[in-house]
Amino acid sequence: MLLVLDIGNTHTCVGIFDGACLIADWRLTSERRTEDELGIYLTGLLNMTKKSQDLISGSIISSVVPPLEAAWSRGIYKYLGIEPMVVSSELDLGIEVGYETPAEVGADRLVNAVAAVHHYGCPVIIVDFGTAVTLDYVTSNCVYLGGAIAPGLLASIEALFGKTAKLPLVTLEPPKRVVGRSTSESMRSGILIGYAGLIDGLVDRMSQEQKETPKVIATGGHAEVVARWSSRINTVDSNLTLEGLRLIYERNAK
């Protein structure tokens, strides 16, 4: 079995694959912990699957938080005896990376691109709703070009709450209407429906610039709710990143 981890700024997603089948997954808070804390945490999760940790034969990590990447790597090695593979542009991804400085691309963005190309073909735009919202473009020739980065939905709400005197800190429940009838509803409309407009606008401009008609795949914590208001998102794939990790591991494992 394969252990996959996507370490983000806010959350860490952990998955277990048995072959090509995702048999378990968890969403954890990305907190600074020691290798022992993470190792014990991990063995506890594995026990929940009722499968022996000895069945884990490989591991791969995608991370945008270097200290957590190091701690998880040490914990996996100490408690499972496995040296995890770490995603970078230097691995064989199966797609060409056309970014000006490939080493600067977030590992999660590359992982998403690999999974999207494999399952949905080229050209494709991947929208990931995380701490930041990223849009990544892969051309019809399967070249990863780059894309756009915007503040995440929660970051936008926290900015409104922190920088204004009277606006409340609201939850991201789907708004009932575009024209909000209360302050909270107006904020939800501005964030959720506003981000749908941002996504649609960027998708249109990217498509016009590249003179292509890409599929648009969304993933991440708020993908489902924003997709309700978007006219450009074709598919929501909640396991896209974990699947990309599996594909990259299988391509590079020796």
Q: Is 12 annotated as a binding residue?
A: yes
Q: Is 29 annotated as a binding residue?
A: no
CB atoms within 10 A of CB 81: 10
Q: Is 108 annotated as a binding residue?
A: yes
Answer yes or no: 108 catalytic: yes
The conformational region for residue 192 under phi > 0 = left, psi -120 to 50 = alpha, else beta, is alpha
Q: Is 10 annotated as a binding residue?
A: yes
Residue 208 makes CB contacts below 8 A (sequence gap 6+) with none
Q: Is 9 annotated as a binding residue?
A: yes
Q: Is 107 annotated as a binding residue?
A: yes
Exposed / middle / buried, residue 162 (Cβ in 10 Å: 0-12, 13-18, 19+): exposed
List the catalytic residue out of 25, 108, 136, 200: 108
168 alpha carbon, distance to own chain's centre: 28
Query: What distance in Å separates the CA atoms of residue 164 and residue 89, rounded to the nearest whole number?
Result: 41
Strands (E), the chain: 2-7, 11-18, 21-29, 58-63, 85-86, 96-97, 124-129, 132-138, 143-151, 215-220, 235-236
What are the C-alpha distances in Å from 99 to residues 104, 105, 138, 201, 222? 8, 8, 11, 22, 27
Q: Is 200 annotated as a binding residue?
A: no
If you ran DSSP here, which 8-state letter would residue 24 be given?
Answer: E
Q: Is 79 annotated as a binding residue?
A: no
Query: What distance in Å separates the CA atoms of residue 100 and residue 143, rounded to the nearest whole number?
Result: 12
Q: Is 197 annotated as a binding residue?
A: no
Q: Is 222 annotated as a binding residue?
A: no
At 105 the three-state DSSP class reads: coil
Q: Is 131 annotated as a binding residue?
A: yes
Q: Is 11 annotated as a binding residue?
A: yes
Residues annotated in the binding site for K(+), as ranges? 128
The catalytic site residues sit at 108
Residues annotated in the binding site for substrate, as ranges? 99, 106-109, 183
Residues annotated in the binding site, as ranges? 6-13, 99, 106-109, 128, 131, 183
Residues annotated in the binding site for ATP, as ranges? 6-13, 131
